[in-house]
Amino acid sequence: MSVEPYELDREVFNYLQEGVEQINDWQGAASGIAEYVATWGVERFWAMSRSLRLRGGGVPDSANETDEQKRRYFAWGVARVVLCELVQQELQVKAEMDTQDFQNQFRGLDLNQQVLLVDLLMEIADTIQFWTMRLKDAKDSQQPA
């Protein structure tokens, strides 16, 4: 499986743009995705990104969210959905999987596939961090001083 850097950038950028108006609500949590995955693992990341507040597996509609927790974990949902778009065909990991289904699927993968999934998630987290800062800079430059 090959992932082109531009494809990853494009996917992340497109999803993050949906929440740019509330970027101050989710920027802080976005910066912690890679550290969380490195510390706690992909299974716990999945559980956090699929909280009961984010049923259905999609990216929360940050622009219209009234729930602070949904807005806070907007970028985590983006990371999960982008990961699934990239690996769904090969690894059968779907964004709408609940935590238990994901754990079962993840544990059924061979070690190389597990490492691939984690490495790709870390790359997605870095890409989210990059685009979050660019979007924040652009938004801040448009506001009057």
Average pLDDT for residues 91-95, to the nearest whole number?
A: 92
Q: Give Cβ neighbours of residue 71 (< 8 Å, ≥ 6 apart).
A: 19, 22, 25, 26, 60, 62, 65
Question: pLDDT tens-digit profile of 4-56?
Answer: 667 899 999 999 999 998 899 899 999 999 999 999 999 999 988 876 545 55
CA 17, 47, 32, 71 torsion-angle sign: positive
Q: Please state which of the four CATH numbers 1.10.1790, 3.30.1480, 1.10.287, 1.10.520 is assigned to the domain occupying 5-133.
A: 1.10.520
For residue 128 the two structure tokens come to 């989210």
pTM, rounded to two decimals: 0.85
Question: pLDDT tens-digit profile of 100-123?
Answer: 999 999 999 999 999 999 999 999
Q: What is the DSSP letter of 61?
A: -
pLDDT score at 66: 59
Query: What is the distance between the alpha carbons of residues 40 and 34, in angstroms, rounded to a whole number?
Result: 10
Query: What is the distance between the alpha carbons of residues 72 and 32, in angstroms, rounded to a whole number?
Result: 11
Residue 145, pLDDT > 70, answer no
- Are 128 and 13 in contact by the 8 Å Cβ rule? The answer is no
Backbone angles phi, psi at 23, to 5 degrees: -60, -30
- CA distance from start to end of the chain: 47
Domain ranges of the chain: 5-133
